[in-house]
Homo-oligomer: A and B are copies of this chain.
């Protein structure tokens, strides 16, 4: 495939989202990776931090001050950090794809309520598009400023959006019980991620009040659902991956398998990265994050109970790929006019641990 290569740089390149951006972009025929920016590791080889990138040409981290003009700038910074320097980033590139939370919400009061701080650039919120192609493909194609979703939000929205559109989910309540890998907490060591403490946990670190709740709720409003959404997050022993188990009591009354299939087929029949998985045989009958590691796929499955009065939806993805960097590259492809799957075809491994 021969594509006009765009100059791209990654800010926050020493983090886990940034590392995945580099992995995907360095192998992307439409991307000419110019800079990997990290304040802490400036001057160091990129492979010191991301040893898998030894596969590519030698490459050192740049200082944020030294970031150069490029076509597309990817930001992968801790929450609250991209907004502070947004002027600099906007001068650097015409297109910005931000993996962080800063510009995901439209209303400054939502930010304040969920992130416990005033938003520094409320006037810019309206210029960003929520970058989840499955629910906003056309906006992404033309947006200069794209804010990628949170990983749990991505998993939850992809499970619920089609149900909201079909009226199966309308006024709730809906419970999302998310099982999370340790990489979701980022690359900075902490007591909670010290291996002897973190290995083998089943730790409900956020029984209620998870910040992604508002993202999901706002996205579902766009599909016509206005609901109490309850998100519970439990850290488990894996490194990569999310499984969102979503407990739904259909608002429209009992539903049939056919109804649910119809909702998902309408939404996802042509989606390159969403697969509905509901097998009657085999070990992998339902979505399971371990085989999605490294891939940009989201798998959705479901089962009905109680004559269709209860619906369990399962949504699995790799938090660093479809939940972050892969999804951002998918947005990049759309914005650049490249085939949407460019650079995102890794199918995942089997067998594999986690």
Contacts and interface: CB of A to CB of B under 8 A. Distances in A.
Contact-size category for A: 35 or more
B204 A305 contact: no
Contacts of A346: 346
A194 interface: yes
Contacts of A197: 283, 351
A49 interface: yes
A79 interface: no
A345 to B, nearest CB: 7
A289 interface: yes
Contacts of A23: 347, 349-350
Contacts of A208: 303-306, 310, 312
A26 B350 CA distance: 14
Q: How many copies does the complex hold?
A: 4
Contacts of A245: 177, 204, 207, 232, 234
Contacts of A348: 52, 55
A353 interface: yes
Contacts of A49: 282
Interface string A333-348: 0000000000001111
A202 B236 contact: yes
Q: Which of A202, A345, A354 has the most CB of B within 10 A?
A: A202
A5 interface: no
B240 A351 contact: yes
A322 to B, nearest CB: 13
Contacts of A352: 196, 200, 239-240, 293-294
Contact of A239 (B200, B301, B303): B200
B347 A240 contact: no
A195 B201 CA distance: 11
Given A195-B182, A239-B195, A347-B52, A314 B353 contact: no
B354 A200 contact: yes
B51 A239 contact: no
A164 to B, nearest CB: 19
A289 B241 CA distance: 20
Contacts of A282: 48-49, 51
A182 B203 contact: no
A286 B203 contact: yes
Contacts of A291: 51-52
Given A54-B277, A194-B195, 20 more contacts: A19-B350, A19-B351, A51-B350, A52-B347, A55-B348, A175-B247, A177-B245, A179-B202, A179-B234, A191-B283, A194-B194, A195-B195, A200-B352, A202-B289, A202-B316, A208-B312, A228-B306, A232-B312, A234-B243, A247-B247
Across chains A and B, which 9 residue pairs bring their CB atoms closest together, nearest first?
A: A200-B354, A208-B305, A196-B351, A55-B347, A239-B353, A51-B284, A207-B303, A195-B198, A52-B348
